[in-house]
Chain A
Amino acid sequence: MDDQTIIELIRTGKNDLALNALYRNFPAIRKLVRSHGGSTRDAEDIFQEALIILIRQLKKDFRLSAKLSTYLYGVCRRLWSEQLRKRRLQVSFDSMTGILPGSMDTPFKDDLSADEVSDLYEHLQQESRIRLAEQALNELKDRCRELLLVFYHGQLSVKEIAAKMGYRSENSTKNQKYKCLEAARTRLKELQHQTQTL
């Protein structure tokens, strides 16, 4: 499958087929991570993050400066080197310098454009916030999370969702959605508060 087809699939919401094709890049990433002190598990995590970044970017009508495989490799390199840096910090309690663009890409030759690198940083800064939101969602009741995910997919009408999830009417379905959003929001706020006080 060529890059253009994959990009088209992602833009039209057919992530599964696109991801099956993209996953073929995994061996190179595994090699990269494993030859820099990581495990296969680490490689899978890093690769997952890179795929999320790629898909987000493509949905934003983002123009790639290189092939998808090169982009993924470049992102994984940076993510892994950042991860290594964090791990070292955790071990040695070095002085905290914060995430600075220059600090993370030293071991590698640059193969992403300046825009791509700055987007990557933006993503990294958002990441912890979004992870927290994901955690808040995970802590919701199954039915609530399922309902929000169904709405998020946006491929079913409210009526269909009502039928699927067994709600009496469209109105009660929507009402339920807002209640679930409210619960998620409350939990997320609590989590943010906890994280700040830590």
Chain B
Amino acid sequence: MRPELELIERIERYLDGELSPADKTAFESELAADASLREAVQLQQDIRLGLERASLGSSIRRAKQHYYRRIGYRWGGLGLGLAVVALVAILLATRHDRGFTIVPGVQAATHGELYTIDVRHDTLLRTAHGAKINIPRGSIDANGADTVRLEIKEAYTIAEMLRYGLLTQSDGRPLSSGGMIDIRPAEGSSARIVRPINVALPTLRVEENMQRFKGIVDDKGKINWTDPRPLADSSAQKAIAYGKSIFETNCRSCHSLRYSVTGPALAYIGQRRSEEWLYDFIRHNDKVLSSGDCYARYIYNIYNKTPMNTFPELNRADVRHVIDYITSESQLIDSNQVPNYTRELDSCLRYKQLAGALERNREALIRANGPRTDVIRRDDTGAIITDTVVVYTSPAPVTTIEHPSIYYQFTVESFGWYNVDALLKDLPGVLPSELRVQMTPEYAAEVNVFLVLPGRKIFTEGGVLKDSKTEFGFLTEDGQIPLPQGEQAYVFATGEYQGKPVFAVRGFMMARQQTINLQPVPMTKEEITEAIRHLDFNQLAIRVAESPNAVRIRGIDTSLAAVARFKPQHCDCDCGVNFPGTDTAVVEGR
């Protein structure tokens, strides 16, 4: 042995307390003198503690799994479903005339779990680790007793096999094992198996060449596993192999289990999507997409809107087999490294749900606010005029627009003023004219425009002209209106834009044909009052105030901003994307 290794051995013996008293004293005096030796001992001590920690850690994980299984949860959210059954089932037994006698033979290192069963009834045992042991009535002869106490040891990992002294060797060659079970009468009882009992062990993964071995105990108490036979129930293996062939033929060109390639990584897909959904999607993903299925559309968007092929020829069993194959193979892959779109989509839909509810409330509050500019006409006595007598209706009138009020509301109140119809009566100085008011498009969509003729007590609202988004007129949609020439007139605009009240007013002398440029700007209440103070708008009041629901709407705006922070980063939350060849279905968050 190399000297370095000899030193390691010596340290081990020291830590194990195996050195003779003389050697120990010698070692300790060396230790006192040699700092590098001290460091070496410390490192080795740390490694032993690390081994203890690793070993305890795996025991604790098993206890955790046991706990979750007992209370009926899935394992700690890891999604390790015990989907595939059946493995290497072994009974430690020696041949004894008509049946097998269970003999206490191998001295096992640790006790297993104890069960007392009544041999007069069928018994189905479900062990701590999930094995199912079906003991039909009469299959165990307990020497005439009604009950027998069985000790059951299960081993699924190498550590467990070692703990129970279950060595996996076949004629001197090591075996890999998917799991083993040892059933024997507990100390103090005796029994023999007279008819076969059926054991199904859970395994996370099915291998093609798994076989069942028989354990023969030699005179030293060692087990040799011999007589390999195919699993009595090899349907699991066949199903997995079949699933694999389907996967290779149909899916492999675009999908990998571990990596996202043309399509998403498929490992653990059986845990993320239901079999029903997968069945529909694999066969006709186009139909699932056009039905507005959010998950399907979400994936479709992420993968460049490249539709998957359809596989209408696969039947339900085919789909189940391919899922089983994927589930089995997934056990070799760290589930945390496979993108989980279910989770992201869930956040996304939750966001949509919250934001959608807030938006709906916001819209309802806005509707309840009433018009952005509320026009109230009163007669000379102050009574509100409800039914105006229409003197003239233009064949193509301008249409006034009613904007809902969001944060601000204007009130325009007139006392004893007339509508524009009044101009159509034969009044002196009134001539057919054309009047257009022009403004920039962003404001044009958010304001109401009015014409005021103080000398005639005429006040009327305008509307957008035909084929224009930026020009307003006051009678017909081509801007025609009879006007008294050479008199003072005003146009003003009220509205709100980007959360602020906006206003503009402009005076002009009326002419046969003119275009007035009116540019609203954000203004405070005081600024608006100031802007109209010196105008001779006798008995015409323009006021602005916060809308009735402004405070609540602002509250919702704050909530919306807060909710937006929860929107997943890589989620456009687009359930209503266009899909080629189908109608767009716009789907609200579910």
Contacts and interface: CB of A to CB of B under 8 A. Distances in A.
A60 to B, nearest CB: 12
A143 to B, nearest CB: 11
B67 A152 contact: no
Interface string B37-68: 00010011011111111111101101110110
Contact of B47 (A51, A136, A163): A136
B382 interface: no
A166 B169 CA distance: 9
Interface residues of B, number: 42
B163 A185 contact: no
B5 A137 contact: no
Contact of A51 (B55, B60, B77, B174): B60
Contact of A19 (B49, B50, B60): B60
A27 to B, nearest CB: 9
A88 interface: no
Most buried by B among A52, A163, A185: A185
Interface of B: 1, 4-5, 8-9, 12, 40, 43-44, 46-57, 59-60, 62-64, 66-67, 76-77, 109-111, 128, 158-159, 162-163, 165, 167, 169, 174
A169 interface: no
Interface residues of A, number: 54
Contacts of B162: 150, 153, 155-156, 164
A16 B113 CA distance: 11
B66 A20 contact: yes
B55 A153 contact: yes
B1 A178 contact: yes
Contacts of A153: 55, 159, 162-163
Contacts of B56: 15, 51-52, 55
Contacts of A55: 56
Contacts, number: 136
A155 B50 contact: no
B169 A52 contact: no
A24 B163 contact: no
B174 A166 contact: yes
User: A interface, by DSSP: helix, strand, loop or mixed?
Assistant: helix
A38 B482 CA distance: 76
A56 B49 CA distance: 10
Given A184-B47, A189-B43, A23 B63 contact: yes
Given A48-B57, A181-B8, A185-B43, A19 B174 contact: no
Contacts of B60: 19, 48, 51-52
Nearest to B168: A164
A24 B67 contact: yes
B67 A23 contact: yes
Nearest to A127: B53
B18 to A, nearest CB: 12
